[in-house]
Structure 1
């Protein structure tokens, strides 16, 4: 294969190779299942180092365009097409109501209910925020190799900010996502939940104002309630948090912190644009407010996304959080936070007071996945599987849900968000669904107070389970959906602001 390379270009050679092959694949000039030149053959033909080809192929894997077969080489992935007739335009358009409260309190109940349901084989568990629990023999082999290589280091105490190798590997991964960061600016945590708790404890005190998106991750609402912070819930639009209302409350209440999920938002699945991210950080700087960016699902994107808000941060306003719990193995409990400037050392000290350091066993396992390239390959398989499952669920929603129901079209992640007509008895529907062995996450958990009826649906299931579960939920909804419900459903788009100040 002859790849035209400009050896004087500022674009690295490996990126030129990746970009050229990407164009061939996406244009259809390289067909599904076609084998790529071997690393040795391509490096010889275009006169580059083998490591350069490996890096290019690794990026194509991360893009979901190719996959490796052990002992056989690299092959073009099949194109995942949407089922014929499937609408890929979201009709999500909720009313724009600001809610002010002290935080939420149902995270414990939802989490424990979900864990109990996952212990039962006959339950279709749509409520979870975690991926499928299946693990391949390949993942087990990588974990065993990591433990063997670590030796007696597993039995030693470690630094509170985490092992240097793991932090270096995470920094390399983040650079590919557009976030330039050093290993010295990364703190390893026990999942992203601990990172959230540490950051919120650091930035907030009792009765401080904090802004969150409405709806938002219920685990964060639980932390804010424990901190006795005053929480302002700014509504989500189809493009992200309502920036007009955000500025209004930044100006009137001068909050200390904005908590946002910019990529694959939990629970709506929305990913904001680069322009939206730039506007958000501009407002934060103007009103001297910190940002906590929680992108736990970013690794599960189906297509490229803008760099994190942290990549736009020049004033140390943004703390970035992510995790391997959603992409690798939840039980490893490895998360991390990117903290720059004067905030880094105080948060390292706070981390030490919480649990000394994260499990050395978990850290060496994740390091081995990253260093060996298995993590990228695992992510690619996961993305392809999740995309197929998402499309199956979207088709099932169109087939079995009434027209009055709206839903988001997530570009990755694990779940989508369904918006139901007002006054629909969502808790009753959830109870009845459970009697049919279908567990739903009621949207009420993701609101500060009284939000609109909604459900978060995890689509990481077999096509058969998705079809069966959605059919049951659709039938239950139709039982309660009378013409009066339809008339008060989803049409309101006027901005209404709570009078609580």
Structure 2
């Protein structure tokens, strides 16, 4: 990350948390330069960015001051504690940054953005993405990268196109991504499920399914599983890739929260694949905002031609304006700045949720079980007592302004469902997490 963005992030956080209050004078440029061990021009650039966002203002021969707010409606507060919504928190959307990138993209590309592009995606964005993917240990050629309208489009295309193994059935973890499950069942696609728990997956069962069933591809979220919040170990990832190669089954790896990873040694399944059996998917919607609808699919040579043809027939190309703006956003360093900000924010929320659940589970083992993964994620879950009826619990909590979502839609209609309560903190403010958990436990005790 550029040094000025580190300074920008730190000062922005001090203002947003109130450590630097309205009207306060910021430390001098000389002081900040010494503190961050950088040039004065770097500090000035960071201050100018804050000034553009109307967070500070300069006074000639005096310095920079925090802007006084004339309208307190900018602070969004809801009495509802929302553990259901998994989309990014609107309060951390990079509105101004992305507006700048949109304007810059239009100015740079002009008419090119308003004509048909290519089904593969904006070539300049693909080059930027190729370099960025190396940060996730995904090394590939430009020819194998496709820009899609979100991961959902990539999944529908992969479900539709013929595969070299000539197999038909999709294998999906249970529970899993609800919209993909709905897509498969709505279109009558042959599908099988395999149980995934907090402890992982039964590799013997997976091998049995690969060996005996007609599996086209296995859809998995190898890290930060939705809704469980768990990640596969390195050993599990390697074993699954070996089984896929052995039985000629493709893996579709949905790495939708890769940008939240804090462990530099945690690599995707794709990095262990030496036989072109892993298809890698990445989303930008979860780290920026859902409406962006830009995803990346890394497609092996044996599937690239069919993927290109089917995508061309489906939508001609994905939004060129969104692609161009994303390119500017990444190249400018704004993406890395925002990623760091989001990662830190979600990590603090996740840690608070984990701490609260651990504390309450130790005192209420008869009510629920919580499996500590040691890798806090915005998603997590608790396993309820078998006597608890989930839907009435969710309705009762809603009356107390606690919003939860049923896990039933995360299962295939024919698959046995666990008594699981899923929790997501991406839309819960840190200071309200413990309050929300307390109310959930209190209601469980009543039941």
Deviation at 1:425, TM superposition (A): 0.7
Partner of 2:38: 38
Partner of 1:367: 327
Question: Is 1:467 matched with 2:431?
Answer: no
Question: Which of 154, 171, 175 is equivalent to 2:134?
Answer: 175
Which TM-score applies when normalising by structure 2?
A: 0.78
Q: How does 1:48-447 map to 2 (within 5 A)?
A: 70-71=46-47, 121-134=78-91, 135-136=93-94, 137-203=96-162, 208-400=168-360, 402-403=364-365, 404-409=368-373, 411=375, 413-447=377-411
Deviation at 1:361, TM superposition (A): 1.3
Contact 1:423–1:453, Cα closer than 8 Å, also in 2: no
What's the CA shift string for 1:349-407, capped at 9, x where partnerless? 11111111111111111111111111011111111111111122223324555333324
Q: Greater shift after overlay, 367-376 or 463-472?
A: 463-472
Which SS does the other structure have where 1:380 is aligned?
helix
Deviation at 1:239, TM superposition (A): 4.7
Task: Tell me the distance in 2 between the aligned counterparts of 1:209 and 1:267.
Answer: 23
Contact 1:188–1:358, Cα closer than 8 Å, also in 2: yes
Q: Greater shift after overlay, 246-255 or 350-359?
A: 246-255
Task: Tell me the distance in 1 between the aligned counterparts of 2:310 and 2:430.
Answer: 45
What's the CA shift string for 1:121-172, capped at 9, x where partnerless? 5432211221101224344433433333332222111001100111111111
The gaps in structure 1 that reach 5 residues or longer are 1-32, 42-53, 55-66, 74-118, 481-501
Partner of 2:29: none
Q: Greater shift after overlay, 400-409 or 181-190?
A: 400-409
Contact 1:408–1:418, Cα closer than 8 Å, also in 2: no
Partner of 1:110: none
Contact 1:208–1:255, Cα closer than 8 Å, also in 2: yes
Distance 1:221 1:34, change over 3 A: farther
Contact 1:420–1:454, Cα closer than 8 Å, also in 2: yes
Partner of 2:416: 450
Which SS does the other structure have where 2:225 is aligned?
coil
Question: Is 1:476 matched with 2:432?
Answer: no
Distance 1:120 1:71, change over 3 A: closer
Which SS does the other structure have where 1:256 is aligned?
strand
Deviation at 1:346, TM superposition (A): 0.7
Which SS does the other structure have where 2:393 is aligned?
helix
Contact 1:189–1:334, Cα closer than 8 Å, also in 2: yes
Task: Tell me the distance in 1 between the aligned counterparts of 2:158 and 2:374.
Answer: 27
Task: Tell me the distance in 2 between the aligned counterparts of 1:203 and 1:35.
Answer: 58
Which SS does the other structure have where 2:279 is aligned?
strand
Deviation at 1:35, TM superposition (A): 4.0
Contact 2:357–2:370, Cα closer than 8 Å, also in 1: no
Distance 1:123 1:410, change over 3 A: farther
Contact 2:358–2:372, Cα closer than 8 Å, also in 1: no
Which TM-score applies when normalising by structure 1?
A: 0.70
What's the CA shift string for 1:198-241, capped at 9, x where partnerless? 11122579993322212111122112213323332222244532
Contact 1:297–1:413, Cα closer than 8 Å, also in 2: no
Q: Greater shift after overlay, 329-338 or 222-231?
A: 222-231
Deviation at 1:184, TM superposition (A): 1.5
Which SS does the other structure have where 1:229 is aligned?
coil
Which SS does the other structure have where 1:441 is aligned?
coil
How many residue pairs align between the two structures?
380
Task: Tell me the distance in 1 between the aligned counterparts of 2:77 and 2:395.
Answer: 17
What's the CA shift string for 1:473-492, capped at 9, x where partnerless? 22111222xxxxxxxxxxxx
Contact 1:444–1:450, Cα closer than 8 Å, also in 2: no
Task: Tell me the distance in 2 between the aligned counterparts of 1:321 and 1:231.
Answer: 20
Considering only aligned residues, what root-mean-square deviation do their CA atoms show, in Å?
3.0
Task: Tell me the distance in 2 between the aligned counterparts of 1:399 and 1:351.
Answer: 49
Distance 1:200 1:412, change over 3 A: farther
Which SS does the other structure have where 1:468 is aligned?
helix
Q: Greater shift after overlay, 231-240 or 165-174?
A: 231-240
The gaps in structure 2 that reach 5 residues or longer are 1-32, 50-75
